[in-house]
Amino acid sequence: MASVNARVLLLFVVSALSCFAVVSSQSFEIDYKNDCFLKDGRPFRYISGSIHYNRIPSYYWKDRLLKMFMAGLNAIQIYVPWNYHETVQNQYNFKGDRDLEHFLQLANDIGLLVILRPGPYICAEWEMGGLPAWLLKKKDILLRTMDADYIAAVDRWMGELLPRIKPFLYQNGGPIITVQVENEYGSYFACDFNYLRHLMKLFRSHLGEEVVLFTTDGAGLGYLKCGTLQGLYATVDFGPGGNVTSQFMVQRHAEPNGPLVNSEFYTGWLDHWGEAHSIVNKDVIVKSLNEILLHGANVNLYMFIGGTNFGYWNGANSPFASQPTSYDYDSPLSEAGDLTEKYFAIRDVIKMFKDVPQGPVPPSTPKFSYGAVQMKKLQTVSSALDLISFSGPVKSIFPLTFIDLDQNFGFILYRTLLPKDYINPTPLSSPLNGIHDRAYITLDGVPAGILERDKILSINITGKAGGQLDILVENMGRINYGKYINDFKGLVSNLTLGADILTGWNIYTLNIDEVIGRGLLNKAEELNHRSVAPANLTSPAFYRGSFEIPSGIPDLPQDTYIQFPEWRKGQVWINGFNLGRYWPARGPQITLYVPAHILSTSAPNNVTVLELERSPCEYGPCVVEFVSTPILNATVPHSTKHKHLYVKDFV
Ligand SMILES: *[C@@H]1O[C@H](CO)[C@@H](O)[C@H](O)[C@H]1NC(C)=O
Ligand SMILES: *[C@@H]1O[C@H](CO)[C@@H](O)[C@H](O)[C@H]1NC(C)=O
Ligand SMILES: *[C@@H]1O[C@H](CO)[C@@H](O)[C@H](O)[C@H]1NC(C)=O
Ligand SMILES: *[C@@H]1O[C@H](CO)[C@@H](O)[C@H](O)[C@H]1NC(C)=O
Ligand SMILES: *[C@@H]1O[C@H](CO)[C@@H](O)[C@H](O)[C@H]1NC(C)=O
Ligand SMILES: *[C@@H]1O[C@H](CO)[C@@H](O)[C@H](O)[C@H]1NC(C)=O
């Protein structure tokens, strides 16, 4: 350790001398002679943390950034999710929670440098790894390659994004010191060097020759092979607990000289529905972080704050397992921005290597339990189609996918009639595993069962000719990593009933978010108790309740968490804001984070729930509850036909 310290010290002295001449304007570059970055001509090392502005309401950006600054970080690392800004092709959105320039300005004002990772692919456990679903309009598109249509879309997007970025480059007076090209490209099968080369030229043409461009790959020689390119500085990523020296030797293989950089040092890990909540022990992090810093290396802590996959933005892995709404990640700052023991442990490590800002760390935001809210049934999805399907049904002999129908997210209802009598239990099945991703099935309004991608491929039904079969299909988030990122949603192959291929579909695209946002969903249905079917399920339906913020208590509204006692799986909105998916029947996430700014003190707050499996309202009183502490670690054991061993080594 002593020799490492001496070497670092020597390095700083030498570089300080050798670089003394070039200091008049802002510059950021790589010093290959002295194995370091140079900022304004002086040796510089960053200790950075990842934050995803797209997972935090803009209302809280400043609070989170300030806490990162107070931890002693001198930089942050951010992704730009393409599909968040160009959700509809050629319509760019940089407003409100998508105001990237405002976020960069805040970071700059607080004194944090920025390591920018604009993709186009970002992985990040984000829907389709940040790629817009509309790219799949070309059915056989080869994503992340020189595919002409993919490249044309990338060029247009970068032509929109990068000119906005340019004024924020460090050499132009802004906070951005380095820019990553693509993301762990060495983990992707395509290995298209022309594609990486194209991106390098594209970035250079928009951002200029000066900016440091880099790549990140797993710390294994196999990953560097297809992930690195001459002209892009190669960095690696690895988590705590391993051999820091040997992992940096992998980077040295690609970059014999220049700064050591771990671009993703994992402070926690991701979750999947139905699996145990990931926890990474802080002592292991402290030990490895200390070693990394003793190596004189630059490091980015992934994540420093994870945040939330609001709405439909979560990604998924393959074999199909989607990520929950919370992206807490067991990070040093919790999903809600709260300080943790891990935060202070990391700050203590950083303190040994550089000054951390004096003064109090901004406190965790207070949380409030607003209590139980009585819920009331509105309509079933099937009975509300006139209201929630703006365009009405599309007729098709065989099923069409979400993309065919120009709906990227949420739910689509497929309706057909039984072609004949099925007196005996007959398998309704998706022989080609074509339910993407979960289907809630009713026959003549009575729940008949659930099909699930990679898990439940067949259920038995009985029915009469002409019986109305409704299949509500949920898109649970597109695969964000690996070979299968071309993830089509809906019924992507035929359904069979016994030996018959079902045909003659009426397919309803659904505008649920618009309808809820505009407060149009308000017709209450007579509750008919005992409507729980033999399958022990209830038809997918909407429920609503409202609550008021109590008066006479100072500083309300405050953040809170919502939980769903006796509910099973669905989607929830508060005042039209889509909070995300709940699935306590599987876990590990039980509570959903509710940021204070979506709550109102001047009108009743409206909670709308779309319960897909089984609502407690059908057999008694039903409530949702607002509580002051999160529960993210309660996995419910469930039986699945095939137990998949899910392997994913890098984010
Ligand atoms: C870590 O790796 C280095 C380089 O391969 C090796 O010299 C060293 O012995 C390893 N340390 C441990 C504790 O295994
Ligand atoms: C469907 O019914 C058949 C015959 O009655 C039975 O053998 C099979 O196990 C059933 N399948 C399921 C998924 O219940
Ligand atoms: C559905 O079945 C028809 C008839 O066999 C076939 O032509 C069509 O390609 C199938 N569709 C899908 C998506 O598999
Ligand atoms: C139906 O579900 C409820 C709530 O999940 C459970 O308590 C009950 O035992 C189930 N009934 C059957 C017949 O499976
Ligand atoms: C909740 O819904 C009611 C009735 O539709 C409406 O008057 C009220 O403004 C809504 N509350 C909020 C905060 O939007
Ligand atoms: C979940 O986390 C809480 C708080 O850290 C802990 O008290 C509890 O034991 C954990 N539960 C499980 C099932 O791990």
Each residue's pLDDT tens digit, 440-454: 999 999 999 999 999
Catalytic residue among 264, 335, 452, 474: 264
* Residue of 174 and 520 predicted with greater confidence: 174
> Is the distance from CB of 606 to CB of 538 less than 8 angstroms?
no
458 CB within 6 A, ligand 1: no
> Is the distance from CB of 178 to CB of 212 less than 8 angstroms?
yes
CA–CA distance, 15 with 24 (Å, rounded to integer):
17
Closest residue to atom 11 of ligand 6, CA basis? 633
The preferred substitution site among 238, 245, 295 for testing ligand 1, maximizing ligand atoms within 8 Å of CB, is: 245
- Residues contacting 255, CB < 8 A, separation 6+: 233, 234
Query: Within a 13 Å sphere around the CA of 369, how many CA atoms are in the beta-carbon half?
Result: 9
Which pLDDT tens digit goes with each residue over 68-115?
A: 999 999 999 999 999 999 999 999 999 999 999 999 999 999 999 999
CA angle 306, 347, 117 (to 5 degrees): 40
Q: Which 3 state secondary structure label does DSSP give 355?
A: coil
Per-residue pLDDT for 535 more than 90?
A: no
Residue 531 confidence class, pLDDT cut points 50, 70, 90: low
Residue 591 confidence class, pLDDT cut points 50, 70, 90: very high
Residue 12 confidence class, pLDDT cut points 50, 70, 90: very low
Mean of pLDDT values over 365-382: 97
- pLDDT for 637: 79
* Closest ligand to residue 425's CA: 2
**384 token code pair:** 């509300």
* Closest ligand to residue 605's CA: 5
Compute φ and ψ for 476, nearest 5 degrees.
-95, 15
- pLDDT for 528: 60
- Residues contacting 256, CB < 8 A, separation 6+: none
Mean of pLDDT values over 319-346: 98
Mean of pLDDT values over 46-50: 99
Q: Where are the beta strands (DSSP E) in 134-239?
A: 176-180, 212-218, 233-237
Q: What spacing in Å lies between the alpha carbon of 532 and ligand 4's midpoint?
A: 10
462 CB within 6 A, ligand 2: no
- pLDDT for 253: 97
Residue 534 confidence class, pLDDT cut points 50, 70, 90: confident
Q: What spacing in Å lies between the alpha carbon of 517 and ligand 4's midpoint?
A: 33
Per-residue pLDDT for 11 more than 80?
A: no
Residue keyed to tokens 């944090």:
112
- pLDDT for 3: 38
Per-residue pLDDT for 21 more than 70?
A: no
> Is the distance from CB of 534 to CB of 576 less than 8 angstroms?
no
Q: What spacing in Å lies between the alpha carbon of 321 and ligand 6's midpoint?
A: 23
494 CB within 6 A, ligand 3: yes
- pLDDT for 267: 98
Per-residue pLDDT for 1 more than 60?
A: no
- pLDDT for 15: 42
Per-residue pLDDT for 638 more than 80?
A: no
* Residue of 19 and 287 predicted with greater confidence: 287
- Residues contacting 63, CB < 8 A, separation 6+: 337, 362, 365
641 CB within 6 A, ligand 2: no
> Is the distance from CB of 324 to CB of 309 less than 8 angstroms?
yes
Which pLDDT tens digit goes with each residue over 263-294?
A: 999 999 999 999 999 999 999 999 999 999 99
CA–CA distance, 107 with 304 (Å, rounded to integer):
15
Closest residue to atom 9 of ligand 6, CA basis? 633
- pLDDT for 19: 38
Ligand 2 atom nearest residue 424's Cα: 5
Ligand 6 atom nearest residue 277's Cα: 14
CA–CA distance, 166 with 207 (Å, rounded to integer):
6
- Residues contacting 491, CB < 8 A, separation 6+: 399, 400, 401, 414, 430, 434, 435, 436, 439, 471, 473
89 CB within 6 A, ligand 1: no
Compute φ and ψ for 94, nearest 5 degrees.
-125, 40
Residue 636 confidence class, pLDDT cut points 50, 70, 90: confident
Residue 650 confidence class, pLDDT cut points 50, 70, 90: very low
> Is the distance from CB of 358 to CB of 625 less than 8 angstroms?
no
Mean of pLDDT values over 358-368: 96
> Is the distance from CB of 38 to CB of 324 less than 8 angstroms?
no
Per-residue pLDDT for 16 more than 50?
A: no
Which pLDDT tens digit goes with each residue over 109-166?
A: 999 999 999 999 999 999 999 999 999 999 999 999 999 999 999 999 999 999 999 9
H or E segment at 99? Answer: none
Closest residue to atom 6 of ligand 1, CA basis? 246
- Residues lining ligand 5, Cβ inside 6 A: 519, 546, 575, 600, 603-606
Closest residue to atom 1 of ligand 2, CA basis? 460
640 CB within 6 A, ligand 1: no
242 CB within 6 A, ligand 1: no
243 CB within 6 A, ligand 1: yes
391 CB within 6 A, ligand 1: no
- The pTM is what? 0.94
CA–CA distance, 421 with 464 (Å, rounded to integer):
4
Which string of b and e fits 614-636 if b means at least 16 CB within 10 Å?
A: bbbbbeeebbbbbbeebebbebe
* Closest ligand to residue 629's CA: 6
- What does pLDDT average to over the chain? 93
CA torsion through residues 618, 620, 621, 626, sign: negative
Active site residue 525: no
Residue 249 CB neighbour total at 10 angstroms:
14
Per-residue pLDDT for 13 more than 50?
A: no
CA torsion through residues 579, 585, 590, 591, sign: positive
CA–CA distance, 538 with 397 (Å, rounded to integer):
28
Catalytic residue among 125, 127, 184, 611: 184
Q: What spacing in Å lies between the alpha carbon of 522 and ligand 4's midpoint?
A: 29
Task: Using alpha carbons, list the distances in angstroms from residue 592 to 274, 410, 500, 578.
Answer: 16, 18, 42, 11
Which pLDDT tens digit goes with each residue over 199-216?
A: 999 999 999 999 999 999
* Closest ligand to residue 459's CA: 2
Max Cα–Cα distance, the chain, nearest Å: 89
Rounded percentage of the chain residues whose pLDDT exceeds 70: 93
CA–CA distance, 353 with 638 (Å, rounded to integer):
47
CA–CA distance, 467 with 346 (Å, rounded to integer):
62
* Closest ligand to residue 428's CA: 2
Residue 529 CB neighbour total at 10 angstroms:
9
Per-residue pLDDT for 438 more than 90?
A: yes
Mean of pLDDT values over 566-580: 98
Separation of first and last alpha carbons in the chain: 30
- pLDDT for 529: 54
Q: What spacing in Å lies between the alpha carbon of 377 and ligand 5's midpoint?
A: 17
Active site residue 264: yes
Which pLDDT tens digit goes with each residue over 288-311?
A: 999 999 999 999 999 999 999 999
What is the DSSP code (8-state) at residue 553? S
- pLDDT for 541: 97
Q: What spacing in Å lies between the alpha carbon of 244 and ligand 1's midpoint?
A: 8
- pLDDT for 145: 98
633 CB within 6 A, ligand 6: yes
Closest residue to atom 14 of ligand 5, CA basis? 575
H or E segment at 623? Answer: strand 623-627
278 CB within 6 A, ligand 6: no
Per-residue pLDDT for 646 more than 50?
A: no
Identify which of 198, 196, 172, 201 has the alpha carbon closest to the alpha carbon of residue 185. 196
246 CB within 6 A, ligand 1: yes
> Is the distance from CB of 346 to CB of 490 less than 8 angstroms?
no
425 CB within 6 A, ligand 2: yes
> Is the distance from CB of 221 to CB of 253 less than 8 angstroms?
yes
